[in-house]
Structures are given as C-alpha cells and as structure tokens.
Structure 1
Amino acid sequence: MSSGVGVKGTLGRCYPFYADLKKCVQKKTLESPTAMCWAENEDYFECMHGFKEKARILQVAAERKRREKLGEKFDIA
C-alpha cells in the first residue's frame, strides 16, 4: 500500500488516505497529543476495511425488511 500502486497498476484507492495519515504522523512532535492523527487513521482504516459502509448497508437492509413487512413501499431513489 505504501507504494501507492494499486492492483491494476494505477493509484491505489486508499493511497490518498494513507498519504494524509503519513503526512500527519510526520508532523507529530513529543508535545502533541497521542490522538492527533485519529481522524486520518480512521479514514484510512474505513477505506481499507469498510466497517461503517457495511454497517450502513445492514441498516438499510433491516429497514427495507421492516417496511416490507408492514406493507409499505421502500424506495431509496
């Protein structure tokens, strides 16, 4: 991942998030708080693993199922 090259030989999909994280970590000093780069770290891990995206998909599916059970039409668009 740190090379920036993706599977197809182009820029990796998460490399911009990795570059932001790397830039933030390089700016850290001894006086800075330990959680200084938390947002960048969270963005990078979300890009890599998609935990929040998967949770949202499950929420939408559960709501769809609930509404269909009630007989309502569920249309996202």
Structure 2
Amino acid sequence: MSSGYGLHGGPSRCFPFWQELLACYVVNTSSEDDSGKKKCAPALEDYYECLHHKKEAHRVMTLQAAYRKAEALGSNKEAPSAGQIRSLGMLSREESK
C-alpha cells in the first residue's frame, strides 16, 4: 500500500526492498555527488518488481501462450489425462477389487 503499512497493520510486503534501496542510496550518494545512483539500479528494479509484478506477469503470459500453442498443435497425444495426473498413477478403488 502507498502508506507503507500492510493490510493488517504491519509493514508492507515491499518494505524490505524499500529499505535496501534506501540503504544503497545512503551509501553510494551524497548531497554533492549523485553519480552513485547507477549502482542502485538493481535494488530499484527489485523494488519496482515487488510493487508491480511486471516481470512475473510477463513470464506467466509467456508460459500460458506456449502451453496454448502446444495444446493447439496436439504435439503430445500420449499425455496423461487430468484424472491420471490427479491420482498420481495410484490405483483407484474400482481397479483394486
């Protein structure tokens, strides 16, 4: 949340990333010299990812598109059914009798 507090009153989920970014700025910059900000780019990227989840969303969309493409091509016709996957190959009650 923008206030810095989480939904249940504690620190927000991204607060540790914010602290890391702030510490990087304190160590690498001064009031006269801002050239150290470039060293903090990875910390800033991590903080933005925590806030917005853009990389994760892109990865999920890419995986979903690849799955749909493979499913449309029907490349794996010998794939197990959803029921077989759920049972993990264990015998059902009807088959054991």
1:59 — aligned with what? Answer: 62
- Correspondence for 2:50 among 47, 51, 75: 47
**Structure 2: unaligned runs, 5 residues or longer:** 80-97
2:14 — aligned with what? Answer: 14
Q: Distance in 1 between matches of 2:73 and 2:2?
A: 49
Give 1:11 deviation, angstroms.
Answer: 2.3
CA RMSD of aligned residues (A): 2.1
Seq. identity, %: 38
Q: Distance in 1 between matches of 2:37 and 2:27?
A: 12
Q: Deviations over 1:13-57 (max 9, x none)?
A: 100000000100111232744411000000000000011001001
Large movers: runs of 4+ above 6 Å? none
After TM superposition, the score normalised by the length of structure 2 is 0.65
From the superposition, tell whether residues 2 and 22 of structure 1 become closer, same or farther in structure 2 (CA, over 3 Å). Answer: farther
1:38 and 2:17 are equivalent in the alignment: no
After TM superposition, the score normalised by the length of structure 1 is 0.80
Aligned residues: 73
Q: Distance in 2 between matches of 1:12 and 1:40?
A: 17
